[in-house]
Amino acid sequence: ETGVTQSPTHLIKTRGQQVTLRCSSQSGHNTVSWYQQALGQGPQFIFQYYREEENGRGNFPPRFSGLQFPNYSSELNVNALELDDSALYLCASSPRQGTGELFFGEGSRLTVL
């Protein structure tokens, strides 16, 4: 059983650029959630996708957007990057009816200069 995989693992962008992060969910998981983890902080919920639609959003501006594909994989897009967007971005998958456990990938570390 393949776990949650994310790409790229590290990337560097400059302020104002755009970035796309990718996530493949664990086999059989149809719900994908994205979290932002700033250095020394806990993960903050960005949004969740189920059946290719956004299913809840945290306190993040519209320049954070996402997609989910028919194979349940997902993308996180961030436009007009700001310095404060530098963080570890975590993807987590889960089955719709499950035990409540989130299965996390190892994250994509974004540095904005």
Pairing of strands 10-13, 44-50: unpaired
Give the separation between CA 111 and CA 81, rounded to whole angstroms: 10
The helix (run of H) or strand (run of E) holding residue 65 is strand 64-68
> Is 44 or 73 the residue whose CB approaches another protein more closely?
44
Of 22, 73, 102, 109, the residue at the interface with another protein (CB under 8 A) is: 102
User: Does 66 participate in binding another protein (rule CB under 8 A)?
Assistant: no
* Min CB(94)–another protein separation in Å: 5
Q: Indicate the residue among 41 and 111 with the shorter CB distance to another protein.
A: 41
* Phi-psi label, residue 84: left if phi above 0, alpha if psi -120 to 50, beta otherwise: alpha
* Residue 90 touches another protein, criterion: CB under 8 A: yes
Nearer to another protein, 4 or 81 (CB): 4
CA gap 14, 45 in Å, rounded:
24
Shortest Å distance, C-beta 58 to another protein:
8
When asked if residue 2 is in the footprint of another protein (CB under 8 A), the reply is no
